[in-house]
Every structure is written in structure tokens, then in C-alpha cells.
Structure 1
């Protein structure tokens, strides 16, 4: 079972400056906040990953999800499909086309990761 991710946006409103993605079909300006909410709403956490995160005390805040979305876009641009996203001492196996976190790992417990085609390192400046 795959459950939608629950998160809260904590940023100030900003406008997308240009490009067709910055307007709706009716010509209204789309805020950066709305664009990010739309992108992040598509993320899912598998039942297995949710269980592993709870078991290992791994939590993600909205800034982490934004960083993961940016990393996912960069990895996809290079042709990646299944990536290992490293954040500090934890990592997440992510299926990029469906934006699904498949599992969460602690580097101390698991030193080998399989069934991936790429690795992306993300910084977590607040941790």
C-alpha cells in the first residue's frame, strides 16, 4: 500500500517570474508556493518505507521534501529512474517516475544498497 505524504508548507508566497508554467489556462499567475505544493503532493511513502522511518526515528520536514523534489528533477534529467537519496546519516531509495519512497535506511545499519541506478547527495544544513 502506498500512502500520500503529509507535509506543511512554511514559506512566504513568491511569484513565478516567467514561462508558460507560471500561468494557468485562464491566464492567472501561479504562485511559487502553489507550484511547489503541486509537485510535492505527488510524493508517496510506501507502507514499508513508512514503517522503516517510524522504526528508525526518521522524520522529514517541508524543506527536506523540497530538497528531494529538486534532487529528483535533477536525477531524472540525467536519465535516472531508481535513485538512492542520501541525507546526512540516512538514505532513501526512491522510484522517481512515481515519486515513491520505497525504503529508508540508516548508513550505520546498511552499507549496501541494491536495485538503484543513481545516487544523489542532499544537504541538511539544519541537522
Structure 2
């Protein structure tokens, strides 16, 4: 996230953490979390963001190796 200059607030982290918990409750292992203009490929098992992409770089991007997606409002 540092490389892509993506900064998140504590409130952002709380919402993303809630999405991770929801995915874990459904048995997900690797999930795409869509939050605002961000796409976060996340290891639910390890509670780690693997890839973070902002809206400017998301065009024509293919997400692989995920078993779920969570859309956060």
C-alpha cells in the first residue's frame, strides 16, 4: 500500500476488518474486498492484504485466486 501511496484511516481499517470477518464467517480463504475506489485482494486466513489497487489502476485488471468478494459501503 505504501508503494501505491494508499492511505487509510482508522475508520477505513475498521470497515475493512469487518469485511474480513464476514468473509471468514463464510469460510473464505482469499477474498476480493471492494472498498470505496480500492480493490484489496486479501488472505482471509492470514488477515493480510496481498494486493491493493486504487481506482486509477483498476481498469482491465483480472483478479485470480479468490474464492469470494465482499463489497463494503
| TM-score range relative to shorter protein | 0.7 to 0.9
Structure of larger gyration radius: 1
User: Which residue matches 1:83?
Assistant: 31
Superposition misfits of 4+ residues, deviation over 3 angstroms: none
Give the TM-score of the pair, scaled to structure 2.
0.83
Shift of 1:115: 1.0
Q: Name the SS for the 2:2 alignment partner.
A: helix
1:67-119 CA-partner distances (Å, limit 9, x unpaired): 11111111111111100111121111110111111110124423311111111
- Structure 2: unaligned runs, 5 residues or longer: none
Aligned-partner Cα distance in 1 for 2:71–2:4: 20
User: Which residue matches 2:48?
Assistant: 100
Q: Name the SS for the 2:57 alignment partner.
A: coil
- Structure 1: unaligned runs, 5 residues or longer: 1-52
Aligned-partner Cα distance in 2 for 1:88–1:112: 18
Give the TM-score of the pair, scaled to structure 1.
0.51
Q: Name the SS for the 1:54 alignment partner.
A: coil
Greater helix share, structure number: 1
1:30-60 CA-partner distances (Å, limit 9, x unpaired): xxxxxxxxxxxxxxxxxxxxxxx23433111
Q: Cα RMSD over matched residues?
A: 1.4
Greater strand share, structure number: 2
Q: Name the SS for the 1:67 alignment partner.
A: helix
